[in-house]
């Protein structure tokens, strides 16, 4: 079993200017080392070790939320062995980022940040942290990959690096060769708990945004639209890899704006539609009460709307927490449905259950060697949209199937982990008894 050791990073003033002259690495390290502190967080029972980044001269420091969790006393130690007491300003569990503030007046040297959108795989980088409590230590490597989702949180978008990252590096920076922060060391994949050359850092843009939110509000205030989007896998070249609305919360901003499940997103303000995760990050970082022009493809036509972001409703927070729980496998899930929640659909060569909680159909049986089975549909697969229309129960589905009999086919949109898979099935005329 893989062991994941959480290790993040910090943040500061933002800078997009590259240094004009290439300098020796040792000179760059000497310049930025004073901007990194070692952290000891004491919760009376045990001590947590980590690192942090000085982001302002007056004593703001960014680190990992897990480093400071439950701490009664937090101490910052500079590279010159000066020790300062710090207090927790705020923490964000979803990104594992926390903001600290030195209690007494200080005159720190803050670090600067590069735009993490401009990084490239292969760029040389170096990390500074506090491995095993040894104090400021430097390791170097390259960017191995971008936009990694390691299933640590809903906003995963990690930079992967082979720079040595170990326990105690949590909250320490990942620098480019100009001495600008591009990420916060976040986690490692390891079977032994020590560095194996596969480390992850939160992008500097995310770290900076979260730190600013914590400084202003003491918490992170995220925008919310109340809809889930997924990537389309389709034989239609014009729609392939575009994002479509796969689910929607009742009375959400998206629903009130007139958006519908099955709509293909063409434009949502200036938000990135590259992947579902890019879109979710963009929505989260859009302030509440922001109006966004929207264009969607619906029934072959472009529909223009406007949606206004809101804050996440309390019921959605509870839903997110329940979704974090370990889910049963598909077959176990199917067995949980009562006979009243099951229905046979010979036109589709399958039996379905309707999950009322998630408003989705679940495949419970497929006729062997049928078209449905040959096209890759399997027991446990889920869908909630038929012919680009949201379906709310067995009666709705039977009406849509009956309406589709005249053309002899129906389109089901199956919901995957990060995709919407549109599958067209030819309808079988059911036998009727005399």
- Residue from 187, 160, 151 nearest 171 by CA: 187
Residues 189 and 237 grouped into a single domain: no
Domain that holds residue 354: 328-426
Contact 138, 29 (CB under 8 A): yes
DSSP 72-119: SEEEEE-TT--EEEEEEEEEETTTTEEEEEESS-------EE--GGG-
Per-residue pLDDT of the chain (434 residues; tens, 9 = 90+): 344 444 333 333 334 344 435 689 999 999 999 999 999 999 877 888 999 999 999 999 999 898 898 899 999 999 999 999 999 999 998 898 999 999 998 899 999 999 999 999 999 999 999 998 888 999 999 999 998 877 677 788 899 999 988 888 889 999 999 999 999 998 887 666 677 788 899 999 999 999 999 999 999 999 999 888 888 765 566 666 788 887 788 788 999 999 998 889 999 999 999 888 889 889 999 999 999 999 999 888 999 999 999 986 533 443 443 333 333 344 444 456 666 677 888 889 888 888 877 788 988 888 877 788 888 888 888 898 888 888 878 888 888 888 888 888 898 988 865 566 788 888 865 433 33
CA distance linking residue 34 with residue 259, whole number of Å: 51
CA distance linking residue 94 with residue 419, whole number of Å: 22
**Block residue for tokens 């503030």:** 101
Instruction: Tell me which of 256, 290, 318 is where a domain ends.
Output: 318
CATH number, domain containing residue 168: 2.40.10.120
CATH number, domain containing residue 333: 2.30.42.10
Which phi and psi (to 5°) does residue 386 adopt?
A: -130, 125
Residues 20 and 85 grouped into a single domain: yes
* 278 catalytic residue (yes or no): no
Residues 180 and 75 grouped into a single domain: yes
* 378 catalytic residue (yes or no): no
Residues 342 and 380 grouped into a single domain: yes
Which phi and psi (to 5°) does residue 62 adopt?
A: -105, 140
Residues 50 and 90 grouped into a single domain: yes
CA distance linking residue 327 with residue 275, whole number of Å: 24
Q: Please indicate, yes or no, if residue 431 is contained in any of the structural domains.
A: no
Active-site annotation holder among 38, 56, 92, 96: 96
List the alpha helices (DSSP H) in 137-269: 204-217, 253-256
Active-site annotation holder among 170, 204, 234, 280: 170
Residues 211 and 228 grouped into a single domain: no
> pTM for this one?
0.66
Report the number of distinct structural domains present in the chain: 3
Active-site annotation holder among 35, 38, 56, 66: 66
Residues 141 and 262 grouped into a single domain: no
Contact 8, 200 (CB under 8 A): no
Residues 275 and 295 grouped into a single domain: yes
CA distance linking residue 163 with residue 129, whole number of Å: 11
Instruction: Tell me which of 266, 289, 318 is where a domain ends.
Output: 318
Contact 422, 233 (CB under 8 A): yes
Residues 191 and 59 grouped into a single domain: yes
Residues 102 and 195 grouped into a single domain: yes
CA distance linking residue 425 with residue 403, whole number of Å: 14
* 66 catalytic residue (yes or no): yes
Residues 196 and 238 grouped into a single domain: no
């Amino acid at each position: 079993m893989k062991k994941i050791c959480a290790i993040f990073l910090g943040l500061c003033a933002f800078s997009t200017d590259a240094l004009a002259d290439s300098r020796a690495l040792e000179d760059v390290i000497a310049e930025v080392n004073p901007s990194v502190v070692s952290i000891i967080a004491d919760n009376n029972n045990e001590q947590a070790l980590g690192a942090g980044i000085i982001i302002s001269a007056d004593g703001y420091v960014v680190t990992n939320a897990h480093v400071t969790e439950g701490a009664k006393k937090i101490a910052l130690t500079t590279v010159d062995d000066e020790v300062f007491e710090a207090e927790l300003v705020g923490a964000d569990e979803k990104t594992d980022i926390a903001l600290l503030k030195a209690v007494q007046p200080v005159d720190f040297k803050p670090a600067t940040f590069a735009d993490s959108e401009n990084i490239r795989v292969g760029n040389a980088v170096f990390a500074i942290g506090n491995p095993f409590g040894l104090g400021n230590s430097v390791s170097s490597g390259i960017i191995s990959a971008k936009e990694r989702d390691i299933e640590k949180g809903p906003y995963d978008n990690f930079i992967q690096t082979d720079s040595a990252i170990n326990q105690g590096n949590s909250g320490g920076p990942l620098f480019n060769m100009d001495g600008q922060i591009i990420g916060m060391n976040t986690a490692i994949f390891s079977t032994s708990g020590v560095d194996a050359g596969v480390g992850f850092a939160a992008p500097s843009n995310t770290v900076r945004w979260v730190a600013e939110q914590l400084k202003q509000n003491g918490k992170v205030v995220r925008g919310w639209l109340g809809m889930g989007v997924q990537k389309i896998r389709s034989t239609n070249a014009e729609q392939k890899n575009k994002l479509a609305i796969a689910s929607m919360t009742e009375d959400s901003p998206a629903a009130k704006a007139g958006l519908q499940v099955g709509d293909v997103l063409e434009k949502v303000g200036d938000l990135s539609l590259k992947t579902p995760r890019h879109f979710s990050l963009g929505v989260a970082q859009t302030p509440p009460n922001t109006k966004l022009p929207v264009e969607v493809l619906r029934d072959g036509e472009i529909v223009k709307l406007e949606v206004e972001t809101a804050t996440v409703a309390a019921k959605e927070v509870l839903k997110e927490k329940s979704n974090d729980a370990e889910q049963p496998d598909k077959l176990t899930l199917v067995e949980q449905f009562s006979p009243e929640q099951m229905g046979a659909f010979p036109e589709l060569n399958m039996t379905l259950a309707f999950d009322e909680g998630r408003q989705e159909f679940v495949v419970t049986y497929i006729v062997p060697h049928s078209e449905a089975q040959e096209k890759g549909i399997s027991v446990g697969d889920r869908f909630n949209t038929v012919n680009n229309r949201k379906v709310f129960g067995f009666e709705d589905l039977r009406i849509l199937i009956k309406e589709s009999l005249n053309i002899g086919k129906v389109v089901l949109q199956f919901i995957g982990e990060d995709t919407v898979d549109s599958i067209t099935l030819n309808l079988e005329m059911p036998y009727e008894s005399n």
